[in-house]
Amino acid sequence: MTPKGAYIKQLLESGEREIYLSEPQDIFMTLDEYREKIKNCQKCSLGKTRTNFVFGDGDPHAKLMLIGEAPGRDEDLQGIPFVGRAGKLLDKILSAVNFTREEVYIANILKCRPPNNRDPLPDEAEKCMPYLDRQIELIKPQIICCLGRIAAQFLLDTKAPLGKMRENDYSYKGIRVFVTYHPAALLRFQQYKRATWEDVKRLRRYYLKINGLPDEKFD
């Protein structure tokens, strides 16, 4: 019997007589199945201008989930988040604290590229956030790291500046949230690299602590 069949059988045996299949279907959905379900989204105007729907990339059971603001040109062309210059820098940042791209999951607030890489609009984020929420539910990460002010403000529903958010502890749906600079900002402003290094070291130490792993030394 399939998991869905077992679920329906359990409901019937418990005395339930009205079963609405449209709701519990997602309970048994994998991340890949969810991608297939939503990849043709046209809820906002970005669906008409995108090249690819950029769902996300990485380990579907990752303990660390990274969230940016929206796909850029390279991401729109390839359908994968963080594959341009900023993505290559992100890979180096992860490697510096002993994470690989293959063991984390990377997504964005928006799944489609805004024209000319402009900031996401509030109504676009509002329509797209349920998709990200469902990804978080399916992945069940221990830690979320918001990359940049815009991603953090939309996820945490705050107008606080990035500098202040970096200093505070946050939780989203019971998951610990860290906030740091977007890799694209580091390409433009070298002075942010030291602060980002401190942020990711703090994140790594928290990861090691909650998983009962020994501390690591960094340069």
Residue found by looking up tokens 């500046």 in the block:
161
Interatomic CA distance for residues 216 and 176, integer angstroms: 20
Residue 103 tokens, joined: 């063991």
Residue 12 pLDDT exceeds 60:
no
Each residue of 112-159: pLDDT tens digit?
Answer: 999 999 999 999 999 999 999 999 999 999 999 999 999 999 999 999
pLDDT band at 98 (very low <50, low <70, confident <90, very high): very high
Residue found by looking up tokens 């749906």 in the block:
173
For the chain, list the strands marked E by DSSP.
57-58, 64-68, 105-108, 143-147, 170-172, 175-180
Q: Quick one: DSSP state of residue 140?
A: -
Each residue of 14-43: pLDDT tens digit?
Answer: 454 444 444 444 566 899 999 999 999 999
Residue 177 pLDDT exceeds 90:
yes
Tell me if 111 sits within 8 A of 71, measured CB to CB.
yes
What is the pLDDT of the chain when averaged over all its residues? 90
CATH class of 45-210: alpha beta
